[in-house]
Amino acid sequence: MTHFIGIDLGGTKIAGAVYDAASRHIVHRSTIPTQAHEGPDAVLARIAGHVRALAQGAGLELAAISGVGVGVPATFDWDTGTIWLIPNLPGDWLNKPAGAILGQHLNMPVHLINDARAFTLAEATLGAGKGYASVVGVTLGTGIGGGIVIDGRLYRGLTGAAGEFGHHTIDMHGLPDGSGNPGGWESLGSGPAIASIAAKFVMQGVTTGISGLAGYDLNKITPELILQAAEAGDAVAQDVLRRGGEYIGVGLANILIMLAPYCVVIGGGLARLGHWIHDPMMETVRQRVHTIPLDQVAIVPAALGGEAGVIGAAVWAQQRAEGKA
């Protein structure tokens, strides 16, 4: 069993790669549009067609592919591949047996993996967490997700929910996060949460360049726009990013205290905000974590970039085929 295909299903694109497990390298990759508006069955058919095209592009017969892993932004039954919730794709995905449908299309094993878990497995296997006995992955973006890898294997927990870090409470009296939990980490440390902090300053009439950059449209305030203002010397923007970094640091401190991992890999769009987020995050971590030696924990940026999703999905398919997952 040498070649596996990893698929990363997104709202606008379907990325895919052929992974050679022997050399631990991607030998072919390509991306196609999702066209999610066509509905679940059409999307699944496009994924199947993409798998066939990837094999062909790598100079392989489909029968030479030992398995397919599909990273999805969803919750699902890990054993059957039946979707429970996929909030960012239109159509009736509820109880859609995506794994079984793809398996029938391709006549081979197809295994679903949550996209944040795929990120973590990839970084732990080939990326910034390679070589560490335990790795926690954290993705900071529109939401906050993650995963846990121990001795090279993904720890799934009950219903595969281990790693849903964004929904642990960091403010007992806060607003609900995406799962409905009041004061969940995601409600304070995600991209939309940081944009909301800035929007509140603007609505209160505080003088800041954020207003002009957004064209005086609150809906156009994004973390990237706040970063632009901060780098131009805007004190309010800098304060917003500091607060966001502190909120991220609180959640990360809790993870460190609870799991005591050897390595934490941080990825996602907010990681690109650089020192504006990283410095207050680490200052908060140092203030709050006293149960483990922080100098022995590697807290590092992700190394695989946009390829983490397809690599993690392919590695997942490999581990399932080898009975290691």
CATH of the domain at 283: 3.30.420.40
Residue 269: inside a domain:
yes
Q: What is the pLDDT of residue 178?
A: 85
Residue 64: inside a domain:
yes
Residues 80 and 205 in one domain: no
Residues 158 and 291 in one domain: yes
pLDDT digits (tens, 9 = 90+) for 155-178: 999 999 999 999 999 999 998 988
Quote the domain boundaries for residue 40: 3-115+306-321
Whole-structure pTM value: 0.95
Residues 45 and 83 in one domain: yes
Residues 159 and 262 in one domain: yes
Return phi, psi of residue 308, to 5°: -60, -40
Residues 142 and 102 in one domain: no
Residue 123: inside a domain:
no
Asked if pLDDT for residue 100 goes beyond 90, the answer is yes
The rounded distance, in Å, linking the Cα atoms of 48 and 98 is: 11
| 3-state secondary structure labels for all residues of 215-232 | CCCHHHCCHHHHHHHHHC
pLDDT digits (tens, 9 = 90+) for 203-216: 999 999 999 999 99
Asked if pLDDT for residue 1 goes beyond 80, the answer is no
Residues 185 and 254 in one domain: yes
pLDDT digits (tens, 9 = 90+) for 273-320: 999 999 999 999 999 999 999 999 999 999 999 999 999 999 999 999
Residues 138 and 225 in one domain: yes
Q: Are 311 and 276 in contact (CB under 8 A)?
A: no
Q: Count of alpha carbons within 13 Å of 288, Cβ hemisphere only?
A: 20
Mean pLDDT throughout 104-131? 97
Residues 226 and 259 in one domain: yes
Residue 121: inside a domain:
no
Mean pLDDT throughout 56-64? 96
Mean pLDDT throughout 256-272? 97
The amino acid that residue 185 corresponds to is: W
How many domains does the chain contain in total?
Answer: 2
